[in-house]
Amino acid sequence: MSDYISILIVEDDAIIALGLELAVEDRGYVVVGPVATVAEALALVAQGGIEGAVLDASLLDRDVGPVALQLIENGIPFVVHTGVGLPAVLARHYPDLPVMMKPNSPDKVVARLLREIKIGRVRGH
């Protein structure tokens, strides 16, 4: 992996977001966000430059489905970090998405995301 990896954090719980942010930064990577709404996340995805994301399934404004679908369309790996499971649209169409249930260690969540990014690079994304 390159030295410069930017990771989008989409999480509406400030404490969890901070833990994820610190876990990303501890690895020397760049945090984009954190943001707590689908609208904010979609705006950041549209700006480009994101190589991976950690997504909370249930956000302040709705479920994270639209963000996940946009990341899939853009070929950007992500991990859903959730206490409630995948939103229905994702579970129906993409049941094999990487999901880590809360509570979970921020280090484990970020490590899983980095594996997903590596797999994506091997596949040529």
Predicted confidence (pLDDT) at residue 125 exceeds the cutoff of 60: no
The mean pLDDT of the chain is 93
44 found inside a domain: yes
Residue 124's pLDDT band (cuts 50, 70, 90): low
- Arithmetic mean of pLDDT, 17-43: 97
Q: What percent of the chain has pLDDT over 90?
A: 88
Classify residue 22: in a domain, yes or no. Answer: yes
Number of domains forming the structure of the chain:
1
69 falls within a domain: yes
Q: Report whether 45 contacts 74 (CB < 8 A).
A: yes
CB atoms within 10 A of CB 1: 12
Residue 50 placed within a domain: yes
Q: Where are the alpha helices (DSSP H) in the chain?
A: 14-26, 38-47, 65-74, 88-93, 106-122
With respect to residue 1, please indicate whether it lies within any of the assigned structural domains: no
Residue 33 maps to a domain: yes
C-alpha angle 81/86/91, rounded to 5°?
145
Q: For residue 17, what are the domain limits?
A: 6-122
Contact by Cβ (8 Å): 10, 55: yes
Do the domain assignments include residue 43? yes
Provide the CATH number for the domain around residue 55. Answer: 3.40.50.2300
pTM for this prediction: 0.93
Q: Is the pLDDT of residue 3 over 70?
A: no
Is residue 122 pLDDT above 90, yes or no? no
- For tokens 């950007």, name the residue: 76
Q: Is residue 40 part of a domain?
A: yes
The arithmetic mean of pLDDT across residues 74-94, rounded, is 94
